């Protein structure tokens, strides 16, 4: 855990597995590629919650390998571990804090 917990406060534990993380990474990569339509991916940005780094300590880079299975090994990947992301579903939604997520953003060739 990367946060202090005071006495008497409720704590919630998230249980994950390497296989679940790899599946989520593949799904995120597939969604990003679909958004490109007919364009080929030129660069991919990957933002992964730091909890994944702790979970995948025995297999570092497993999430990137899973993404490369979808994209191929020749598409450049940039990114890093985050402490969560803030996002909205659309312009009318309130911002939400995402924790324990992976975000894959594909930039296509013109």
Q: Label the pairing between strands 96-98 and 85-87.
A: antiparallel
Q: What is the pLDDT of residues 55-83, one digit of tens each?
A: 888 888 999 999 999 999 999 999 999 88
pTM of the model: 0.78
Q: What is the pLDDT of residues 22-49, one digit of tens each?
A: 999 999 999 999 999 999 999 999 999 8
Residue listed under structure tokens 């730091």: 50
């Amino acid at each position: 855990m990367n946060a202090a917990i005071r006495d008497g406060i409720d704590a919630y534990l998230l249980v994950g597995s390497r296989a679940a993380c790899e599946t989520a990474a593949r799904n995120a990569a597939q969604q990003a590629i679909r958004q490109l339509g007919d364009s080929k991916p030129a660069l991919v940005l990957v933002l992964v919650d730091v909890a994944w780094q702790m979970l995948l300590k025995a297999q570092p880079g497993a999430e990137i390998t899973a993404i490369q299975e979808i994209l191929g090994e020749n598409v450049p990947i940039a990114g890093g571990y985050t402490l969560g992301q803030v996002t909205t579903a659309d312009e009318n939604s309130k911002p939400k804090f995402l924790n324990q997520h992976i975000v894959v953003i594909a930039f296509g060739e013109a």
